[in-house]
Amino acid sequence: MSATHEPGPRTPHGILRDGDQVQLTDPKGRINTVTLAAGKQWHGHKGYLQFDEIIGRPEGIVVRSTGGIDYLVFRPLLQDFAVRMPRGAAVVYPKDAGQIVAMADIFPGARVVEAGAGSGALSCFLLRAVGEHGTLSSYERREDFAEVARKNVEKFFGGPHPSWKLTVGSLEDAITETDVDRVVLDMLAPWECLDAVGKALVPGGLVCAYVATTTQMSRVVEGLREHGSFAEPYAFETMVRSWHVEGLAVRPDHRMIGHTGFLITARRLADGVTPPLRRRRPAKGAYPEPAENELTRGNGNTFPAEPVNVTDGESEIGSPPA
Ligand SMILES: C[S@@+](CC[C@H](N)C(=O)[O-])C[C@H]1O[C@@H](n2cnc3c(N)ncnc32)[C@H](O)[C@@H]1O
């Protein structure tokens, strides 16, 4: 990326400059995010700091306020920026953004479509992963949220990102891309987009949906199965538990974020391919009982009349390798 994208928190290292965003962390761990401005001051709850004491120095320094408080100075990481940036819509949590990048297999040079852009937090993670040789096309149906997303992404990268296109509109109506490698959906009703996603993805491409509730997860998974263009979906969630580590007191922190969302991934089949037979019989009662003559091959509420042996260690279609 050219120097026109600087300054901005994307600058991963180097001397702190006028206009850079930094985090000031006090001894109690409280964080204030400020923008350095030559000749100006930042006022804390006890005294103030001169920005000129920071500008021109490296990250990781400690500066003392006139009130005697020591502050650690670092540029924010993307995870810090994402949870503190101005919001229109709720943002993806960094732990889930990390999972999305890994489990949706976002790679440098990938052609990725995302909806909705919301506040642009996930867009920043995806742009970092696709890099300058990939593309990210983000759709957001609300103009006001799209504006928030644009401002956040430009603030993070220090200017417009060369790989990013943002379109105001609903993905299912507005999408123009074809031959897309990956589609990431973070929205209320991803199942409404499955036709559009199926048309946009290349065979072998992958769709990843991030949803908040079990009912949404169920609709996405069943929608993918019924659609016919996707292999068996994989649904999961992650929990992150931080630890208190001090001398002999080594234990999980008392508080944790108990729930953020669920992730579902599925691979696009080649055109004309019938989804493979599901190899595990659904539990009795999982679906309404179909009449015997309604049992067919395929996905959805169909399963073989006879149980199929699945040997230990064999993974389900769509689940990641052990
Ligand atoms: C939870 S937010 C996305 C947050 C975003 N991933 C982030 O990290 O900032 C969901 C967004 O999806 C948008 N949305 C919902 N359905 C959509 C659709 N079919 N096409 C485009 N955007 C949609 C909503 O307006 C909302 O802004």
Cβ–Cβ under 8 Å, residues 20 and 7 = yes
CA of 118 to the centre of ligand 1 (A): 5
Nearest residue by C-alpha to atom 12 in ligand 1: 116
The reply to whether CATH 3.40.309.10 applies to domain 79-267 is no
Sheet holding 70-74, edge to edge: 31-35, 21-25, 70-74, 61-64
pLDDT score of 275: 77
Strands 180-186 and 243-246: unpaired
pLDDT score of 285: 80
CA distance linking residue 11 with residue 100, whole number of Å: 23
End-to-end CA distance of the chain: 38
CATH 3.40.50.150, the chain: domain bounds: 79-267
CA of 117 to the centre of ligand 1 (A): 5
To test the pocket of ligand 1, the residue of 128, 140, 208, 213 to mutate (highest count of ligand atoms within 8 Å of its CB) is: 140
pLDDT digits (tens, 9 = 90+) for 157-181: 989 999 999 999 999 999 999 999 9
Q: What atom of ligand 1 comes closest to residue 139's alpha carbon?
A: 21
pLDDT digits (tens, 9 = 90+) for 220-278: 999 999 999 999 999 999 999 999 999 999 999 999 999 999 999 999 999 999 877 77
pLDDT score of 213: 98
pTM: 0.86
CA of 189 to the centre of ligand 1 (A): 10
- Return the closest-CA partner of residue 94 out of 109, 83, 105, 108: 83
pLDDT score of 293: 54
CA distance linking residue 131 with residue 127, whole number of Å: 6
Helix (H, G, I), strand (E, B) or coil at 230: strand
Q: What atom of ligand 1 comes closest to residue 88's alpha carbon?
A: 27
Strands 164-168 and 135-140: parallel
Per-residue tokens: 78? 């993307």
pLDDT score of 321: 45
How high is the mean pLDDT in each 10-residue block of the chain (322 residues)? Answer: 41 82 95 95 94 96 97 95 91 97 98 98 98 97 98 94 98 98 98 98 98 98 96 97 97 95 98 79 75 46 38 46 42
Per-residue tokens: 34? 């400020």
pLDDT score of 41: 97
Nearest residue by C-alpha to atom 7 in ligand 1: 91
CA of 186 to the centre of ligand 1 (A): 6
Cβ–Cβ under 8 Å, residues 240 and 256 = yes
State if residue 171 touches ligand 1 by the CB under 6 angstroms criterion.
Answer: yes
State if residue 119 touches ligand 1 by the CB under 6 angstroms criterion.
Answer: yes
CA distance linking residue 9 with residue 143, whole number of Å: 25
- Return the closest-CA partner of residue 210 out of 56, 89, 75: 89
Nearest residue by C-alpha to atom 2 in ligand 1: 118
List, in sequence order, every residue forming a beta bridge with 73; answer none if it has no partner: 24, 61
Please state the three-class secondary structure of 90-128 as a single string.
CCCCHHHHHHHHHHCCCCCCCEEEEECCCCCHHHHHHHH
CATH 3.10.330.20, the chain: domain bounds: 3-76
CATH architecture of 3-76: Roll (3.10)
Q: Is 315 part of any known ligand binding site?
A: no
Q: Is 140 part of any known ligand binding site?
A: yes
pLDDT score of 281: 72
Q: Is 119 part of any known ligand binding site?
A: yes
DSSP, residue by residue, 193-260: GHHHHHHHEEEEEEEEEEESSHHHHHHHHHHHHHHSSBPPPEEE------EEEETTEEEE-S------
pLDDT score of 4: 37
Q: What 8-state DSSP symbol labels residue 137?
A: E
pLDDT score of 3: 36
Q: Which residue has the tokens 């923008």?
A: 35
pLDDT score of 307: 40
